[in-house]
């Protein structure tokens, strides 16, 4: 079986920065409790590795960030890579917490663009995923002036004025974003479109556009990771058998029957060691052992 490691893969700089921020918080405040508001990045193995360091991740899809913040009375709070509202930041400071912000610079850039046009009295159409923390952080800037667009059906309900900008969550699919932006332009060609898919996401997606002669592709990433799920969707446009796996533990022998050429890619929040373990396992297959499936947490941070 030929195994093709598709590039680019590995952490984007936003993920590297987020992990460094958490590690700095742990190092700087060894006697304090360290909390992450939300999940620092969407990868369960990273969360588990942080658990082992004593970092407490507060995540509940049914609670707002403000409600989660109410659970913290003292110590250090780290805001995740996906962005945070100013209201939450202000409340954390008011509570006397030590604040670390791991928001990705691409997310901050998009937020700054939106704020600039809000100051000019523009409406904002924001293409994103409902309940995703990056989208929630964006909407919190001005819920009355920013409308979330999740699919083409949402556009039919909108009254799109001339003074409107259209932008997007940084981890969206290039296909989905283009289709929605085109539909908005068709409804009102006077809107200003600012595509904010980050380079790390775009490069990983573009690498899958011209896949040829593959029997199967594994996308290594967390099921909560929006960019990993979008890699699956794009790979499926060229390859009939595509699977999202979180680690080598998800590989099933039956799926590899009659596979002669397999590709491996990974989301921007997937640890390199997790992806490399999948590649090594496939190169060794079928001469693998139980040890080949053991996750080494010491390599994750």
Render pLDDT for 139-169 as a digit per residue (tens, 0 to 9).
Answer: 999 999 999 999 999 999 999 999 999 999 9
Each residue's pLDDT tens digit, 248-259: 999 999 999 999
The sign of the torsion formed by the CA atoms of 212, 218, 220, 221 equals positive
Each residue's pLDDT tens digit, 258-276: 999 999 999 999 999 999 9
Each residue's pLDDT tens digit, 101-136: 999 999 999 999 999 999 999 999 999 999 899 999
Question: Has domain 2-11+200-299 been given CATH number 3.30.360.10?
Answer: no
Give catalytic residues, as residue numbers: 134
User: Which of 45-49, 172-176, 190-194 bottoms out in mean pLDDT, i.e. has the lowest?
Assistant: 172-176
H-only helix segments in the chain:
13-28, 44-52, 65-69, 86-94, 105-119, 133-139, 152-156, 174-187, 199-206, 226-235, 272-284
What percentage of the chain carries pLDDT values higher than 70?
Answer: 100
Distances in Å between the Cα of 82 and the Cα atoms of 7, 92, 164, 299 are 24, 17, 24, 24
50: its two tokens: 């942080």
**Sorting pLDDT into bands at 50, 70 and 90, what band is 61?**
confident
pLDDT at position 301 is 87
pLDDT at position 294 is 95
38 vs 31: CA distance, rounded Å: 22
pLDDT at position 210 is 85
Q: Return residue ranges of the chain for CATH 3.40.1010.20.
A: 2-11+200-299, 106-197
pLDDT at position 290 is 93
Whether 239 has a pLDDT exceeding 90, the answer reads yes
CATH topology of domain 106-197: Cobalt-precorrin-4 Transmethylase; domain 1 (3.40.1010)
How much is the average pLDDT of 230-248? 96
How much is the average pLDDT of 39-43? 94
Q: Return residue ranges of the chain for CATH 3.40.50.11270.
A: 13-103
**Sorting pLDDT into bands at 50, 70 and 90, what band is 70?**
very high
**Sorting pLDDT into bands at 50, 70 and 90, what band is 222?**
very high
**Sorting pLDDT into bands at 50, 70 and 90, what band is 216?**
very high
Does residue 228 contact residue 215 with C-beta atoms inside 8 Å? no
CATH of 13-103, one of 3.10.450.40, 3.40.50.11270, 1.20.1090.10, 1.10.8.50: 3.40.50.11270
Of 104, 70, 113, 62, nearest to 88 by C-alpha is 70
């Amino acid at each position: 079986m030929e195994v093709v490691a598709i590039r680019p893969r590995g952490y984007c700089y936003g993920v590297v920065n987020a992990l460094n921020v958490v590690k700095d918080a742990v190092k700087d405040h060894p006697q304090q409790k360290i909390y992450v508001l939300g999940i620092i990045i969407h990868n369960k193995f990273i969360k588990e590795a942080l658990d082992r360091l004593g970092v407490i991740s507060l995540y509940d899809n049914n609670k707002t960030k403000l409600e989660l913040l109410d659970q913290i009375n003292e110590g250090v709070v780290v805001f995740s890579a996906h962005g945070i509202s100013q209201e939450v930041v202000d409340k954390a400071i008011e509570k006397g917490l030590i604040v670390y912000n791991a928001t990705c610079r691409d997310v901050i850039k998009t937020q700054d663009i939106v704020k600039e046009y809000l100051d000019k009295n523009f409406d904002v159409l924001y293409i994103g995923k409902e309940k995703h923390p990056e989208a929630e952080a964006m909407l919190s800037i001005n819920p009355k002036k920013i409308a979330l667009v999740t699919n083409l059906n949402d556009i039919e309900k909108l009254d799109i004025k001339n003074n409107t900008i259209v932008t997007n969550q940084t981890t969206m699919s290039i296909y989905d974003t283009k289709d929605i932006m085109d539909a908005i332009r068709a409804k009102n060609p006077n809107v200003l479109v600012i595509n904010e898919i980050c380079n790390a996401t775009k490069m990983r997606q573009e690498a899958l556009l011209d896949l040829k002669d593959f029997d199967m592709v594994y996308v290594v990433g967390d099921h909560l990771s929006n960019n990993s799920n979008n890699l699956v969707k794009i790979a499926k446009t060229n390859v009939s058998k595509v699977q999202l796996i979180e680690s080598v533990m998800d590989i099933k022998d039956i799926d590899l029957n009659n596979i002669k050429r397999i590709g491996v890619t990974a989301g921007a929040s997937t640890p390199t060691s997790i992806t490399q373990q999948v590649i090594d396992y496939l190169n060794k297959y079928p001469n693998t052992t139980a040890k080949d499936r053991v996750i080494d947490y010491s390599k994750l941070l």
